Amino acid sequence: MSRKKIALIGGGQIGGVLAQMIAQKELADVVLFDIVEDLPQGKTLDIAEASRIDGFDVSLKGTNEYKDVEGADLIIVTAGLPRKPGMSRDDLLTTNAKIMKQVAEGVKEHAPNAISIIISNPLDAMVTLYQKVTGFPHHKVIGQAGVLDSSRFSTFIAWELNVSVKDINAMVLGGHGDTMVPIIRYANVNGIPVMELLEKKYKSADKAKEVMAAMVQRTKMAGGEVVKLLKTGSAFYSPASAAVAMAEAILKDQRRIMPACAYLKGEFGVDGYYVGVPAALGEKGVESVMEFSLDEEETAALSKSIDAVKTLVVDMERLGF
Ligand code: A3D
């Protein structure tokens, strides 16, 4: 069996960690592409030189030429500017849309059969644009946001309950912006509702709600919290981990259910937009969207989030993309 090939478009902070993680897991051969001369070559050389220590056998190639992505099974796009303190993800729209258009044209020409995972922000708009420019089937173009947002939510719950994060199941749906929707009702610790455990801990339903509301708020603002601390860029370890989990599900046809930015055709009452929803990820990309009933509050929150996605997409189209 020949090895799989992943092409990473963007060799910055996330791109570098992605290359290292993929190599360490021996998930696939890696091509790291960036427009900055020598940067991807330097990073892949550095990672390859750890292969004896980490014990991995994959090929790592840094490049400034799109022809090297040829034959890629999977593309992961991180090309684009990250946020600086005080910026919202949406502030990146014009700059990153120009970059995303170039990237999409390059991939379309050289790796037309690949499945693509997009990470660049503003996420929902960038996924939409990439699909539009490439014309790739919707199920083969997926955005990474929900896996990370859900992991952030799970981490805060684990800290609060002082239990292993491995036993937390919690998901965040909707757009990857301040209106994202952490689903409280289904957050659980090995099946036990988190709200019930919080009520027991605090012996008060009101206090439990207050603690949960604070975790929800921290989840929504978690990206900004890291940006404020780093000062020169945004989160990069955790977004890379999230995309690798998705890549593994796809390349190994695992059909894992992950919150992913997927194209909806009527599910959750949305038609024709990319939105974060639970999706089964396998060899075809999005194999299916796992639709479930939302209560009134969740429906209202999701529709607000979808409105924010739509506004962003309309703004992008007005800018000529
Ligand atoms: P950074 O370290 O700046 O890397 C971006 C790389 O893109 C740089 O090396 C650039 O040289 C490269 N680049 C610029 N233009 C092009 C081009 N036309 N073609 C190819 N490469 C190009 O940023 P980062 O890695 O920290 O973040 C990358 C993107 O991910 C940003 O847009 C972030 O906002 C976004 N991000 C998304 C999440 C999500 O969960 C969705 C989380 C964190 C960051």
Q: The CATH number of the domain where 111 resides is what?
A: 3.40.50.720
- Given a cut of 90, whether residue 250 has pLDDT beyond it is yes
Q: Are 30 and 22 in contact (CB under 8 A)?
A: yes
- Given a cut of 80, whether residue 2 has pLDDT beyond it is no
Q: Using CB atoms within 10 A of its CB, is residue 266 exposed (0-12), middle (13-18) or buried (19+)?
A: exposed
- What's the pLDDT band for 177 if we cut at 50, 70, 90? confident
Active site residue 176: yes
Q: How many residues does the chain have?
A: 321
Look at residue 128 and give its three-state secondary structure. helix
Q: How far apart are CA 266 and CA 211, in angstroms?
A: 34
Could you say which of 110, 138, 139, 176 is catalytic? 176
Domain stops at, among 125, 145, 165: 145
Q: How far apart are CA 183 and CA 170, in angstroms?
A: 7
The domain tally of the chain equals 2
- What's the pLDDT band for 1 if we cut at 50, 70, 90? low
Q: How far apart are CA 229 and CA 225, in angstroms?
A: 7
Regarding the beta carbon of 177 and ligand 1, being less than 6 Å apart is answered no
What pTM was computed for the model?
Answer: 0.97
Q: How far apart are CA 221 and CA 88, in angstroms?
A: 10
Q: How far apart are CA 61 and CA 32, in angstroms?
A: 6
Q: Are 142 and 260 in contact (CB under 8 A)?
A: yes
Q: How far apart are CA 183 and CA 219, in angstroms?
A: 11
Ligand 1 atom closest to the Cα of residue 89 is 34
Instruction: List CB contacts of 237: < 8 A, sequence separation 6 or more.
Output: 17
Residues 168 and 61 in one domain: no
Residues 120 and 155 in one domain: no
Domain stops at, among 145, 180, 204: 145
- Given a cut of 80, whether residue 313 has pLDDT beyond it is yes
Q: What is the domain range of residue 79?
A: 5-145
Residues 128 and 195 in one domain: no
- Tens digit of pLDDT for each residue in 132-160? 999 999 999 999 999 999 999 999 999 99
> Region 269-288: what's the mean pLDDT?
96
- Tens digit of pLDDT for each residue in 295-304? 999 999 999 9
Is the preceding peptide bond at 40 cis, omega within 30 degrees of 0? no
pLDDT at 90: 83
- Given a cut of 80, whether residue 111 has pLDDT beyond it is yes
- Tens digit of pLDDT for each residue in 3-36? 999 999 999 999 999 999 999 999 999 999 999 9
pLDDT at 88: 83
Q: How far apart are CA 115 and CA 125, in angstroms?
A: 18
> Region 246-254: what's the mean pLDDT?
98
Regarding the beta carbon of 145 and ligand 1, being less than 6 Å apart is answered yes
Residues 281 and 197 in one domain: yes
